[in-house]
Each structure stands twice: as structure tokens, then as C-alpha cells.
Amino acid sequence: MSDTVHLQAPLPTGSVGKLANGWFGMIALVATEGALFAYLLFSYFYFDVQYGRSWLPDPLPAFRLSGPNTAILVVSSLTMVWAERAARRGANGRAALGIALSFVLGLVFVGIQLMEWKDKTFNYASSSYGSLYFLITGFHMAHVVAGLLVLAALLAWTLLGYFDARRHAPVSIGALYWHFVDVVWLCVFFSLYVTPHLR
């Protein structure tokens, strides 16, 4: 008998929180998606250092819509933290409420972002700045939409009573993805909206 193995304790069975393989899989997915955004932002700054101020649009991207929108996305992440805590305690009602709140806030983010796009004086084909602006924010938007689909599924499953205090791995995994979408937006926002003022 191998002396180094401990077998006496009962082991959790099935998909349990952060012991689920899916949790590790999501971390790996977040890593590779994070790399995707790193390459996008590398491209952005690559253009920036090649051309300087003249490459950026006039006027610079404004905070009027993007600022409040950033706050909305951050709040949606906080509601998701709350929802995940509730799910861990088996409080399905509160979990569903939290997921629903995050979902609604995410929808609002998408709406405001569409208004922001409509207000732009350039489009994706007018210059390399326009191409990159729409590619980066478009990629992020695609991730938000994917996140909304995930949240919708989680909401349905929670309301169907699929989860309890021991079985809620999908909520934790989905929450991780949603936080990732939020953090990536902060990086995108800082790069596209804030750094032009810091030159």
C-alpha cells in the first residue's frame, strides 16, 4: 500500500464548487480570453506609439456615457458576488434575484454601449483607429452578450431548483466569467478612454 495516500475521509461526490473540473476549465478559458484582450490592447498601443496624438480622434472619447456605463458593469459584478454567496448558502431565492439584477444591469450596459457606438463620428472602415475601436469594443460586447446568455441559463436553472448549498458549481463558474468580463472592460476603458488624457 502506498503510504503517502490518505483515504480515510469521506470525499465529496460529483460536481462540488471549486473542486469541480469545470471551475479549473473556466480559469483556463479566462486565461486564454485574457490573452486575446492583451493582444487587442497591444495592437491599440502599437498604433498609438507609431503615430502619436494625430492617430486619435478629435474630440477624444468622452466619459459622458462610458463613465456611468463602467459603473453599471462594476455594480453588476457586485450583485453577482452577492448572488454567488447566496447560492453557496443554498438561498435560491436570493441567488436568483442577484443573477437577475446582474442580467438587467448587463442589458443596460449593452443598450448604453449601442448608444455610444451610434454617437461616433467615425466607423470601422474610416481609419485604423475606427477599425480598432470597434474591434475592441465589439469583442468586449460579444463577451458581454455571451455572459448574458450564461446568466440567463443560470437564472433558469436556479429557478428550476437545480441548485442547493452543495450543488451550485455552475453559479460559481458563471460568476467567474462575469467578473472576467467586468475586469476586461476596466482594462479596455482605461486604455481607450483614460490613457488619451495621460499623454
* Cell 453577482 -> residue: 80
Among 78, 124, 172, 193, binds another protein (CB under 8 A): 124
Rama region for 90: left / alpha / beta (φ>0; ψ in -120 to 50; rest): left
Residues in the chain: 199
For residues 74-93, which are near another protein according to CB under 8 A?
none
Among 82, 103, 109, 157, binds another protein (CB under 8 A): 157
Interatomic CA distance for residues 46 and 84, integer angstroms: 39
Note whether 187 and 41 are within 8 A (CB): yes
Q: Minimum distance between the CB of residue 83 and another protein, rounded to whole angstroms?
A: 16
Q: Minimum distance between the CB of residue 185 and another protein, rounded to whole angstroms?
A: 14
Q: Minimum distance between the CB of residue 112 and another protein, rounded to whole angstroms?
A: 24
| Burial (0-12, 13-18, 19+ Cβ within 10 Å), 174 | buried
Interatomic CA distance for residues 168 and 88, integer angstroms: 7
Q: Minimum distance between the CB of residue 126 and another protein, rounded to whole angstroms?
A: 7
Among 31, 110, 114, 115, binds another protein (CB under 8 A): 31
For residues 160-199, which are near another protein according to CB under 8 A?
161-164, 166-167, 169-170, 195, 197-199
Q: Kindly state the DSSP code that residue 168 receives in the 8-state scheme.
A: -
Note whether 156 and 179 are within 8 A (CB): no
Binding positions for another protein, rule: CB under 8 A: 1-16, 19-21, 24-25, 28-29, 31-36, 38-40, 42-43, 45-47, 49-52, 55, 124-132, 135, 149, 153, 157, 161-164, 166-167, 169-170, 195, 197-199
